[in-house]
Structure 1
C-alpha cells in the first residue's frame, strides 16, 4: 500500500507540469581590461593577480531603469508564487489547470516589458553621456549596444520531464530506469515542497508574533497590515498548490488560519487583549513549527555536472 508521500508524488506527477521561465537581461557591469587593472593595482601598490575590478556601465538608479528592474522582480515573483520547486535547475512545477492563466499573464508581462524597454531606450543616449562623464578614461563605446530594445527578453515553455515514449520500443529496460528516475525526482519535489511551505509558514508566523509581542522604547512595535495579509496570501497559495503530503503541515496551517479567522489588523491595534490573545496562539503555532523543523533534516540536492543557466530560478 503506497504511503502518503508516494500518493502525493503520484498526484504531483499527474496534476502538474514542468515550466521554465527565461530572462535575457542587459548586463550593466564589465570587468576591467588587464591594462586597466594593472593601472589600478599600481595606484594601490598591489599585485594585479590579487585584484578584481569591474565598472558599472549604466546608472541603474535612473527611474526608467528601475521600472524595468521592478518588472523583472514581478515576473519572477509571479512565476514562483504560482509554482512548486523541482529538483532540476531552472524548472518548477505548475498545476496544469492554471497554465492558460499563466500563459496569458506572461504574455502581458512580455508586452509590458517591451513598453518599459522602449521608454528606457528613449533615455539611452542620456544614460551613455552620464556614464562617459562618470567613468572617464574607463568609458568605451564598444561596451554599449546600439539600442536597448533587443537586450531584454522573457521566454517561457513547458518542457516534458517524462521519459519519451519511443524509448519503450527501443529499450524497455532503459525506459523503466528512466521511469524510476522520474519518480525519484517527483519524490524529491514533494520533499522540497514540504520544506518550502514549512519554512515560509515559520517565517510568517514568527514575524507576526514578534510584531505583536515586541517592544521598542517601552512601546509596542509598529504593526502593519502586511503582517496578516502575507499570511492570508500564504493560506491561499497553500490551498491551491499543496499536495497534502504532510498531515502535520496541514494541521498547522489550519491552526494558524483559525487564529486569524475574522481578525482585522485594526482589531489588533485597538484591543490590547485581542492582540495578546492572537500573539499567544501564534506563539504556540510557532513553537510547534520550530520543533518540527528541528526534527526535519534539510535536504541539499546537488547534482554533479549541472550548472545554473540564464533562467529566472535563482534560489
Structure 2
C-alpha cells in the first residue's frame, strides 16, 4: 500500500471521527485526609537509631469511621468508573473519545453522579466540625489545627471538572514553516492518530473478549454458582458497543450480534437451574471466544 493511499485513508477516517466523536477529560478533586508529620517521623527514626529516610509517618486526619467522608470518595470512584466505561482511550494526557452517539447517555450519567457527589460533599461538610473534634481526641498531641482547612475553605477542596473538546484534525495544523516540514509534521500527526484509533478499537474488543471468556469460565463449572452480573455485564456491553464503535468495525458488530443471539437469551437463574442450558451456553461462548482470535 502506498504512503499516499495510507494517508488518504487515515485522513478520511479522521474526518469521519471529527464528525462522529469528541474528546472528553475528567478531573475529580477531593481533600485527602492524610498528612505527613515530619516531627513524629524524626522521633520514630531517632528512637530506633535509624537513618532519616528510613520511613515516613502519615497521620489519618479523620477517624476511621468517617462515613460521610468515605461516601464522597466512593461516589467519585463511581463517576470515574462510569467515565472509563462510557468512553474509549485516546491519549496519555487522560482525554478519552466520546462518540456523539453516546453523548446523551454519558451526559445524563455524569449529571446524575455529579449531583450525588455534590450531595455527599454537602453531607460531609455538615459533619466536618464533629469529625474534626473526634480527630482531636484520636490524635492527641499529634493533632495540629493547621492540618485542617476551615469549613468554608473545605468546600473548594471538592469538585468535578469535565472538559469537552472537538476531535482534532491533522489538517488543522498551521504554522509558519516550509511546506515540506508542515507536510512531514502532519504525516506524523496522522500516523499517531491512526495508532490511537487502533488502540481505542482494541479496547472495545478486549472488553467484549473478557466478558465472553469470563462466561466460559463461570458456566463451565459444574456447581452453577455465579453472580447475576455475569449475564448483566455482557448485556450492558452488547447495548454499549454500538454507541462506542466509532470506527464502524463490522467484525466487532458481527461478534456482538452473535453474543446477543447466543449468550443473553437466558436469565441467570435459568442458567443456574438447568445444567444442559448452562453447558450449551458455555460451549457457544467458547466458540465465540475462538472466533475472536481471528480478529484480535
Shorter-chain TM band: 0.7 to 0.9
> Between Structure 1 and Structure 2, which shows a larger proportion of helix residues?
2
In the alignment, which residue of structure 2 is the partner of 1:144? 148
Q: 2:209 aligns with which of 188, 192, 202?
A: 202
Question: CA separation in 1, counterparts of 2:107 and 2:53?
Answer: 48
Question: CA separation in 2, counterparts of 1:136 and 1:154?
Answer: 34
Across the aligned residues of Structure 1 and Structure 2, the Cα RMSD in angstroms comes to 3.1
Task: Tell me the matched-pair count.
Answer: 288
In the alignment, which residue of structure 1 is the partner of 2:260? 257
Q: Does 1:11 align with 2:16?
A: yes
Q: What residue ranges of structure 1 are gaps of 5+ in the alignment? A: 297-315
Question: CA separation in 2, counterparts of 1:164 and 1:199?
Answer: 28
Question: CA separation in 2, counterparts of 1:4 and 1:197?
Answer: 25
Contact 1:85-1:91 at 8 Å conserved across structures: yes
Tell me the SS of whatever aligns to 1:17.
Answer: strand
**Residues 53/80 of structure 1: CA separation in 2 closer, same or farther (3 Å cut):** same
Q: What residue ranges of structure 2 are gaps of 5+ in the alignment? A: none
Tell me the SS of whatever aligns to 1:150.
Answer: helix
Which one is further off, 233-242 or 172-181? 172-181
1:37 positional shift: 1.2
Contact 2:231-2:264 at 8 Å conserved across structures: no
Question: CA separation in 1, counterparts of 2:171 and 2:250?
Answer: 35
1:75 positional shift: 1.6
1:81 positional shift: 2.3
**Residues 32/76 of structure 1: CA separation in 2 closer, same or farther (3 Å cut):** same
Question: CA separation in 2, counterparts of 1:276 and 1:105?
Answer: 36
In the alignment, which residue of structure 1 is the partner of 2:120? 116
1:142 positional shift: 0.7
Q: What TM-score results when the alignment is normalised by the length of structure 2?
A: 0.83
1:163 positional shift: 6.2
Q: Deviations over 1:273-307 (max 9, x none)?
A: 10110011112223444x459xx6xxxxxxxxxxx
Q: Does 1:168 align with 2:171?
A: no
In the alignment, which residue of structure 2 is the partner of 1:22? 27
Q: Does 1:159 align with 2:165?
A: yes
Q: Larger RCO: Structure 1 or Structure 2 (Cα < 8 Å, ≥ 6 residues apart)?
A: 1
Q: What TM-score results when the alignment is normalised by the length of structure 1?
A: 0.78
Q: 2:55 aligns with which of 36, 51, 66?
A: 51
Which one is further off, 229-238 or 93-102? 93-102
1:171 positional shift: 4.4
**Residues 26/211 of structure 1: CA separation in 2 closer, same or farther (3 Å cut):** same
